[in-house]
């Protein structure tokens, strides 16, 4: 599209409040940003004129931590997030099962006993009563536990003699030693997950179209994917047909490292729409599952320090090997011990260098480890919406250590590069919700105190986390993340000005239009010249 978008509030650099009134798009690139409409019309006489009527324009929003493919293919699953008690969960699953075929896998997500009125860790027997002989696997909200029924355990061969795999845990009855139906961390639940049948090609295409529609309606023009290898093949097939429709930065599972090296795959390979990011490595579990690796035990426990999914020697070997072969690492680390281990591993491997290494989540970090993190040059890839969602769990499990949780402000003040995401489907794919959480550090519409308000960000800082932050993390900062001449024409347009509206109302702002590669992919019904 060739167009002059004028009479707007254009924030080209996002880190500052300086604004212009118009932006010119020529093909798939920005060709001019300024304030003089007369001059713009003279320079671009054949461009279409679009009156923004005061709407706010920023670079296209990018979610830098998603399981986008997994989210898309599970849109048809049973979603339990938001349930208030276990009875409600069982009723919802039963209703869902009534509409499924005999023998079909029952897949779901979102259960969280910490968020129910009464804490209850569910069992296979309870799931059996509503799923019948269908195999069932339901991911917890944080996706670090899977609740399965007896049929799924049987198919996976998990019984009282099945050993706990390294880095995984199988919950067992203390008397019979039989699995209860709760499997923790990827090594623990992978024997079940690998058996789950994938959607048919036509179903996957339909789910992708729906996921894309949702993403565009929320202003998203790109995402970083930490999905499994099936996702890469799907993205590649779309890209070959010119139908991917997003800037995608993909991280392979770490167990593909040797294969990637053999094939000569390195970070940055690809094109303008699909690129290799590197590899994704797990080092611990999660806060909700009390499996994030800690320096001190969880509150209420004398010996629960979490789960070490990858030891320091293993991390060091993987990061060093990947770095030597041109592959950046995105390392999952939530607990303070896990974060410290990852920093040590990066130190031993030589830090960030030219590769854009990352720590994913970085939910808790000891103050003494912050200078070490700064020195490595490693990027903090964080998810602001986890902060208000998990603040009660932080208080319950980490106590006073929570002062060092989700320290967005401190990391930016210390000059540590930060990029933001959602972790969809764990939290909704919604950058506006992320901006709201980073600015306010409380829930949408929530009244009362902020979670350690000294860590609150400005709107400009929070918006940068979804624009310039992802651009830097993916090595695209020379042509993406800003609205400047020569940059890609990925644009998000709001009906509201998030820079000037009351910060507590940012969550209520709405997306008017989304432009990807110079063409509109979403417009609300009130947008001028809606197509």
Structure-derived torsion over alpha carbons of residues 174, 175, 181, 183, reported in degrees to the nearest 10:
40
Question: Would you say residue 161 has pLDDT above 70?
Answer: yes
Confidence class for position 267, pLDDT limits 50, 70, 90: very high
Hey, which residues does 350 pair with through a beta bridge?
A: none
Compute the radius of gyration of the chain from its Cα atoms: 23
Over residues 236-252, mean pLDDT? 96
Strands (E), 334-456: 358-361, 379-382, 418-420
Q: Take residue 81 and report the two structure tokens written for it.
A: 């997030």
- Cis-peptide, bond into residue 425, ω within 30° of zero: yes
Q: Which domains does the chain have, with CATH numbers?
A: 2-60+490-523 (2.30.40.10), 77-193 (3.10.310.70), 252-473 (3.20.20.140)
Over residues 433-457, mean pLDDT? 89
Task: Annotate 100-148 with DSSP letters as a single string.
Answer: S-TT--EEEEEE-GGGSSS-----HHHHHHHHTTS-EEEEETTSSEEEE
d(C-alpha 68, C-alpha 248), whole Å: 10
Question: Would you say residue 530 has pLDDT above 60?
Answer: no
Question: Would you say residue 58 has pLDDT above 60?
Answer: yes
Taking residue 138's Cβ as centre, other Cβ atoms within 10 Å add up to: 26
d(C-alpha 234, C-alpha 335), whole Å: 33
Helix (H) or strand (E) holding 282: strand 274-282
d(C-alpha 209, C-alpha 507), whole Å: 25
pLDDT tens digit string along 70-109? 999 989 899 998 899 999 999 999 999 998 888 889 999 9
Task: Tell me what pLDDT residue 197 has.
Answer: 75
Question: Would you say residue 446 has pLDDT above 80?
Answer: no
Q: Taking the alpha carbons of 14, 18, 20, 26 in that order, is the dihedral positive or negative? A: negative
User: Are the CB atoms for 142 and 199 separated by under 8 Å?
Assistant: no
Question: Would you say residue 40 has pLDDT above 60?
Answer: yes
Q: Take residue 338 and report the two structure tokens written for it.
A: 């896990």
User: Are the CB atoms for 165 and 188 separated by under 8 Å?
Assistant: yes
User: Are the CB atoms for 28 and 487 separated by under 8 Å?
Assistant: no
- 145-148, strands of its sheet edge to edge: 78-79, 106-111, 136-140, 145-148, 179-184, 169-172
Q: Could you tell me which residues come within 8 angstroms of residue 148 by beta carbon, excluding any fewer than 6 positions away? A: 124, 127, 135, 136, 137, 138, 156, 181, 183, 189, 192
Phi and psi torsions of 129, nearest 5°: -65, -25
Cα–Cα–Cα angle for 255, 242, 530, rounded to 5 degrees: 120
Q: Could you tell me which residues come within 8 angstroms of residue 134 by beta carbon, excluding any fewer than 6 positions away? A: 97, 100, 102, 103, 104, 105, 106, 149, 151
User: Are the CB atoms for 221 and 247 separated by under 8 Å?
Assistant: yes
Please give the mean pLDDT across all residues of the chain.
94
Please state, for a pLDDT cut of 90, what percent of the chain lies above it.
86
Task: Tell me what pLDDT residue 103 has.
Answer: 82
pLDDT tens digit string along 287-311? 999 999 999 999 999 999 999 999 9
Over residues 30-54, mean pLDDT? 96
Q: Closest Cα to residue 395, out of 405, 410, 384?
A: 405
Task: Annotate 436-490 with DSSP letters as a single string.
Answer: HHHHH-S-TT--S--TTGGGPPPHHHHHHTTTHHHHHHTT-TTTSSS--TTSB--
Over residues 431-448, mean pLDDT? 88
Q: Take residue 407 and report the two structure tokens written for it.
A: 């320290």
Confidence class for position 447, pLDDT limits 50, 70, 90: low
Residue 415: how many CA atoms within 13 Å on its side-chain side? 6
Lowest mean pLDDT among 38-52, 119-133, 152-166, 350-364: 350-364
Distances (CA, A) of 426 to 53, 292, 455: 36, 16, 23
Q: Closest Cα to residue 293, out of 377, 361, 382?
A: 361
d(C-alpha 531, C-alpha 523), whole Å: 8
Task: Tell me what pLDDT residue 353 has.
Answer: 64
Helix (H) or strand (E) holding 403: none
Task: Tell me what pLDDT residue 17 has.
Answer: 74
Question: Would you say residue 50 has pLDDT above 60?
Answer: yes
pLDDT tens digit string along 486-528? 999 999 999 999 999 999 999 999 999 999 999 999 999 999 8
Task: Tell me what pLDDT residue 46 has.
Answer: 95
What does pTM read for this prediction? 0.91
Over residues 213-239, mean pLDDT? 96
Q: Closest Cα to residue 377, out of 431, 310, 323?
A: 323
Q: Closest Cα to residue 12, out of 484, 342, 490?
A: 484
Phi and psi torsions of 219, nearest 5°: 80, 10
pLDDT tens digit string along 412-423? 999 999 999 999
Question: Would you say residue 460 has pLDDT above 80?
Answer: yes
pLDDT tens digit string along 316-358? 999 999 999 999 999 999 999 999 999 999 999 875 568 999 9
């Amino acid at each position: 599209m060739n167009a002059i978008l004028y009479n707007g509030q254009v924030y080209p650099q996002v880190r500052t409040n300086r604004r212009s009134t118009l932006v010119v798009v020529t093909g798939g690139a920005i060709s001019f940003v300024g304030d003089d409409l007369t001059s713009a019309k003279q320079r671009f006489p054949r461009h279409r004129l679009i009156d923004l009527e005061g709407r706010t324009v920023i670079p296209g929003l990018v979610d830098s931590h998603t399981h986008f493919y997994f989210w898309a293919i599970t849109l048809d699953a049973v979603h339990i997030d938001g349930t208030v008690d276990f009875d409600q969960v069982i009723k919802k699953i039963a209703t869902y099962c009534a509409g499924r075929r005999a023998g079909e896998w029952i897949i779901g997500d979102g259960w969280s006993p910490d968020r129910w009125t009464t804490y209850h860790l569910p069992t296979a027997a309870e799931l059996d009563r509503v799923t019948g002989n269908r195999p069932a696997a339901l991911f917890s909200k944080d996706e670090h536990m899977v609740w399965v029924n007896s049929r799924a355990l049987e198919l996976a061969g998990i019984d009282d003699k099945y050993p706990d795999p390294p880095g995984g845990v199988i919950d067992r009855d203390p008397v019979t030693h039989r699995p209860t139906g709760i499997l923790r961390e990827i090594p623990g639940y992978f024997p079940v997950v690998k058996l789950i049948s994938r959607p048919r090609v036509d179903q996957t295409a339909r789910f992708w179209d729906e996921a894309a529609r949702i993403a565009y309606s929320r202003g998203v023009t790109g995402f970083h994917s930490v999905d499994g290898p099936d996702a890469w093949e799907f993205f590649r097939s779309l890209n070959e047909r010119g139908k991917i429709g997003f800037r995608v930065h993909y991280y392979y599972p770490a167990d593909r490292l040797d294969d990637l090296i053999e094939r000569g795959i390195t970070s940055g390979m690809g094109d303008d729409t699909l690129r290799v990011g590197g590899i994704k490595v797990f080092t611990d579990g999660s806060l909700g599952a009390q499996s994030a690796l800690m320096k001190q035990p969880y509150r209420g426990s004398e010996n629960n320090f979490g789960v070490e999914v990858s030891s320091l020697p293993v991390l060091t070997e993987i990061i060093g090997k990947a770095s030597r072969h041109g592959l950046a690492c995105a390392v999952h680390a939530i607990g303070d011990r896990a974060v410290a281990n990852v920093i040590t591993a990066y130190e031993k491997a030589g830090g960030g260098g030219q590769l854009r290494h990352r720590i994913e989540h970085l939910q808790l970090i000891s103050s003494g480890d912050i200078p070490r993190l700064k020195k490595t040059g490693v990027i903090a890839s964080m998810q602001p919406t986890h902060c208000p969602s998990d603040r009660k769990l932080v208080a319950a499990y980490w106590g006073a250590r929570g002062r060092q949780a989700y320290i967005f402000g401190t990391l930016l003040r210390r000059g540590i590069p930060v990029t933001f995401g959602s972790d969809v489907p764990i939290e909704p794919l919604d950058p506006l919700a992320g901006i709201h959480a980073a600015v306010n550090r409380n829930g949408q519409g929530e009244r009362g105190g902020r979670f350690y308000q000294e860590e609150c960000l400005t709107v400009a800082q929070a918006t940068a986390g979804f624009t310039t932050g992802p651009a830097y993390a993916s090595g695209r900062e020379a042509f993406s993340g800003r609205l400047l001449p020569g940059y890609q024409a990925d644009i998000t347009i709001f009906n509201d000005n998030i820079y000037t509206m009351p910060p507590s109302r940012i969550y209520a702002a709405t997306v008017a239009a989304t432009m990807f590669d110079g063409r509109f992919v979403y417009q609300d019904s009130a947008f001028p010249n809606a197509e």
